Amino acid sequence: MVTRSTIMDTNSFRADDAAAGVSEETLAMTRRRSGLLGPSYRLFYSNPVHLVRGEGAYVWDSDGEKYLDVYNNVVSVGHCHPVVVEAIGRQAATLNTHTRYLHDGILDYAEDLLGTLPAPIDQVMFMCTGSEANDLAIRVARAATGGNGIIVSAEAYHGTSDLTSAASPALGGGQVLGDYVRLVEAPDAYRAPTHEVVAWFAGRIQAQIDSLVASGQGFAGFLADSIFSSDGVLPGPRGYLAAAVDVVHRNGGVFISDEVQPGFGRTGEKFWGFERHGVVADIVTMGKPMGNGMPISALAAKAEVLAPFAENIPYFNTFGGNPVSIAAAQATLDVLRSENLMEHSRVVGARVLAELDALAARHESIGDVRGAGLFIGLELVQDRTTKTPDKALALAVVDALRAKHVLTSVAGAGGNVLKLRPPLAFAEGDIDWLVGALDAVLTELGA
């Protein structure tokens, strides 16, 4: 029996159960893709979408049909943003090389980026992907603490390298977790009162630290996406992570905040997800959303945390922080500020939440609506009393939304949480399209 993972296989295309009406042209393209790219790749939806163009929060398929993108956070400020496109083209026509030469761009951007972070976080290193950033973060944490063990949430996804995939249970049962990895259930305020979740979660962190110490692994750090996106988008109330981070520090570990998804103003409340909880991370990782999809990532850290690694091991990432990717990152940061996108995320996200709450009053299948800014989880359940996840309904909704030209997917251990995480170009005028499509789909499905 093949184990199907949470994030890769829950919403994916399989030729043997493709949706009715999938064109022969699409099937032929999927066969060609499978033969050329290999079987590990996945496509979304039982009827895959062939995209050819994007602009803002919209994409168009090969037939010229327009879709609302409610999933793609990688192009954080919007598909093909003209300011970012121009910056990439200008720098690509001037110089692109590695970081073993001096260049103003990387220094100017580093100062700008560090200026958005709490003052204790004062140094930054650049890579090409979030996986590389999280991989390096684990190595830095081990050097800083002398411990080996890492704690992550039960459905976490932190990357595809050997180290990070071994700390990414969301990749499924076929992915063997490292013996230095311990899991904690994410704090779920939908299923327990907030005060209980806070104390319970801090206690679980302590129990897993004790397990690592007893096993001889020792404790290096707690690596978490502060909105627990793969666990089902669990923002919780502000501050609920502080007690857990206190436990980490009391036990000599470091807190690594994976900001690939909640960072850069997406939550609307703070520029960085961890800041919502009144804590200062020891290490912060970020990925391609920082360059609107260009291959750039970063690790920012407190100098004293970075020093034990940096003073002993040279680190060189051939094109991490190259001038073209840095230009994209600088332009993206400029757009985030000039278009006031953090505030936009807060205001528009609050309206989306309000509209979804109203939708929940009409559809019993909506168990919970939660989120921060333009990062929202819509949990579908079989019964509101038992709160039993309804994975089958969630997948049916995702496919039906695709038919109405709204693109999203699912998250969570039960595969039943719609993950609504659009480019920040998503506007108030797009809310009616999203909520109207959801209302129509749930009505058609009798949910």
pLDDT in tens, 346-396: 999 999 999 999 999 999 999 999 999 999 999 999 999 999 999 999 999
Q: What is the mean pLDDT of residues 150-164?
A: 96
Can you tell me which residue has the tokens 């997948």? 395
Listed residue (166, 155, 167, 151) closest to 202, CA to CA: 151
Q: Where are the domains of the chain?
A: 6-77+340-444, 83-338
Confidence of residue 53 (pLDDT cuts 50, 70, 90): very high
- pLDDT for 331 equals 98
Confidence of residue 238 (pLDDT cuts 50, 70, 90): confident
Rounded to an integer, what distance in angstroms lies between the CA atom of residue 172 and that of residue 27?
27
- pLDDT for 17 equals 63
Q: What is the mean pLDDT of residues 85-90?
A: 98
- pLDDT for 9 equals 67
pLDDT in tens, 98-112: 999 999 999 999 999
Cα 443 to chain centroid distance, Å, stands at 30
CATH architecture type of domain 83-338? 3-Layer(aba) Sandwich (3.40)
Hey, what are 439's tokens? 């209302």
Q: By percentage, how much of the chain surpasses pLDDT 70?
A: 96
Mean predicted lDDT score pLDDT of the chain: 94
Confidence of residue 11 (pLDDT cuts 50, 70, 90): confident
Note the residue count of the chain. 447
Listed residue (393, 398, 443, 403) closest to 20, CA to CA: 403
**CB-facing half-sphere around the CA of 418: CA atoms within 13 A:** 30
Q: What is the mean pLDDT of residues 193-203?
A: 88
- Flag the least confident range among 25-34, 106-115, 149-158, 218-227: 25-34
Listed residue (323, 322, 279, 262) closest to 76, CA to CA: 262
Maximum C-alpha span of the chain: 62
Confidence of residue 420 (pLDDT cuts 50, 70, 90): very high
Q: Yes or no: say if 195 and 171 are a contact pair by the CB < 8 Å rule.
A: no
Task: Please list the residues that pair with 67 across neighbouring strands.
Answer: 59
Rounded to an integer, what distance in angstroms lies between the CA atom of residue 163 and that of residue 181?
10
Rounded to an integer, what distance in angstroms lies between the CA atom of residue 46 and that of residue 291?
31
Between 114 and 173, the higher pLDDT residue: 114
- pLDDT for 441 equals 98
**CATH match of 6-77+340-444 with 3.90.1150.10:** yes
Rounded to an integer, what distance in angstroms lies between the CA atom of residue 314 and that of residue 212?
28
